[in-house]
Chain A
Amino acid sequence: MIIRLLSAALVAGFLAAVVATGLQLALTSPLIVAAERYETHDAQASAGHPPVLRSGALPGALPIVLAHAHSGAPAHSEAEADSGAAAAWQPGPGLPRMAFTGLATLIGGVGYALLLGAVMLACGRAPTLERGLGFAVAGFLAVALAPALGLPPELPGSEAAPLAARQAWWLMTAASTAMGLYLIAIRRVPVTILGGLVLLVAPHVAGAPEVAATASPLPAGLAAQFAARSLAIAFVFWAVIGLAFGWAWQAFGRTAPAPAHA
């Protein structure tokens, strides 16, 4: 059975990663790259040089600094004072970067699929297509939508509260929302529903770390578009994980010998 669970999670994570990687490369990665250009411009300006167009030729062309703006490429070392290491490894622009985005999506997808399977079995629900989807929607609410209420998906370059505070709030919100949904949807008696509602609301009453309120050279439209696309992709990611997990669980059950019981 552990084999069945792991196999189903691998299949679900893989399928979800294929779909989500395609969507990310088409919808959000271009926005991230565009935002990094603004970030780079900003850092160059604050470092005292004019934002020189390194490509030189075309007026209005953006400098060819597509490299990831977070690990101290020489052009914007100031912006990254916090990340320290100036020579940290980063995937090269273009194909390597896309490949690593895909790899990260695969790892995250398999991880989420394993958690989804673990939760479904722990709740005593045999995974099917419909139940998988139901639990996946709960997963989306817990790790994507609820944290996004306090910490909206951000493009690189938006100043925000310290990382540790945001990670702590994110984890607390995800855990509290998941537990709240469990109490409401699985336990389903008045007292647990009440407790579940409290758990759903509590992290937002406690309040997320401050969102960036400083002016940024980043166009607001770009950021809004990114936030909406990011949530949409997260939903598709989860939906595919849930559907594929339910399907794969059933499929592996058919081929595997039936559990030995009288």
Chain B
Amino acid sequence: MSTTQTLGTQTLGAAGLRAGEARTAVAIAAFLGLGLVFLAGFAPASALHNAAHDFRHTQNFPCH
């Protein structure tokens, strides 16, 4: 978005990454990560609950 262009160089974050690209990567990873954790830990469908049951108990997700 508002990447400042100085002499053809894009602003680099502390990680040495282009800001716009990093933002997209963060958004995608966060979305996927939340989705997977929801699937494994919270999804209410009973088949999913039963499949993940022991994992949920061990990782202390509220269960039943």
Q: Is the CB of A156 within 8 A of B63?
A: yes
CB-based contact A68/B63 at 8 Å: no
Partner of B60, one of A6, A32, A147: A147
Q: A44 at the A/B interface (Cβ < 8 Å)?
A: no
Taking a contact as CB atoms under 8 Å apart, the answer to whether A114 and B33 are in contact is yes
Interface positions, chain A 117-169, Cβ under 8 Å from B, are 117-119, 121-122, 124-126, 144, 147-148, 151-156, 163, 166-167
Give the number of chain A interface residues (Cβ < 8 Å). Answer: 66
Q: A195 interface residue, CB < 8 Å from B?
A: no
Tell whether A77 is near chain B: CB-to-CB under 8 Å: no
Would you give the 0/1 interface string for B25-64, flagging 1 where the beta carbon is closer than 8 Å to chain A? 1111110111111111110001101111111111111111
Contact with B along A30-61 (1 / 0, CB 8 A): 00100000000000000000000000000000
Q: Which of A104, A115, A122 contacts B52 (CB 8 A)?
A: A104
Bound-state Cα–Cα, A230 to B62, Å: 13
What is the distance, in angstroms, from B13's C-beta to the closest C-beta of chain A?
A: 5
Q: How many residues of B contact A (CB 8 A)?
A: 49
Distance in angstroms between the alpha carbons of A5 and B46 in the assembled complex: 32
The answer to whether B25 touches A2 (Cβ under 8 A) is yes
* Interchain nearest-CB distance for B1 vs A (Å): 15
Question: Does A24 sit within 8 A of B, measured CB to CB?
Answer: yes
Bound Cα distance A9, B39 (Å): 17
In the complex formed, the residue of B with least CB distance to A171 is: B42
List residues 93-127 of chain A with CB under 8 A from any CB of chain B: 97, 100-101, 103-105, 107-108, 110-119, 121-122, 124-126
Cα(A105)–Cα(B35), bound, Å: 14
Separation in Å of the A109 CB from the closest CB of chain B? 9
Q: Are B59 and A88 in contact (CB under 8 A)?
A: no
Which of chain B's residues has its CB closest to A155's CB?
A: B57
> Which residues from B are CB-within-8-Å of A176?
none
Q: Is the CB of B39 within 8 A of A111?
A: yes
Which residue from chain A places its CB closest to the CB of B32 in the assembled complex?
A: A114
Asked whether, in the complex, the Cβ of B22 is within 8 Å of the Cβ of A1, the reply is yes
A262 to B12, CA, bound (A): 11
Residues of A within 8 A of B12 (CB): 261
* A153 / chain B contacts, CB cutoff of 8 Å: 57-58, 60
- A129–B50 Cα distance when bound, in Å, is 35
Asked whether A111 lies within 8 Å of B57 as measured between CB atoms, the reply is no
Query: Measured between alpha carbons, how far is A152 from B56 in the docked complex, in Å?
Result: 13
Closest B residue to A145 using CB positions: B60
- Asked if A261 contacts B51 (CB within 8 A), the reply is no
Any B CB within 8 A of the CB of A29:
yes
Could you give 7 example pairs across A and B, Cβ below 8 Å?
A1-B17, A2-B25, A71-B46, A83-B46, A156-B63, A167-B62, A262-B7
Told that A2-B29, A110-B33, A114-B32 touch, could you supply 4 new A-B pairs with CB distance under 8 A?
A: A32-B58, A83-B64, A88-B50, A111-B40
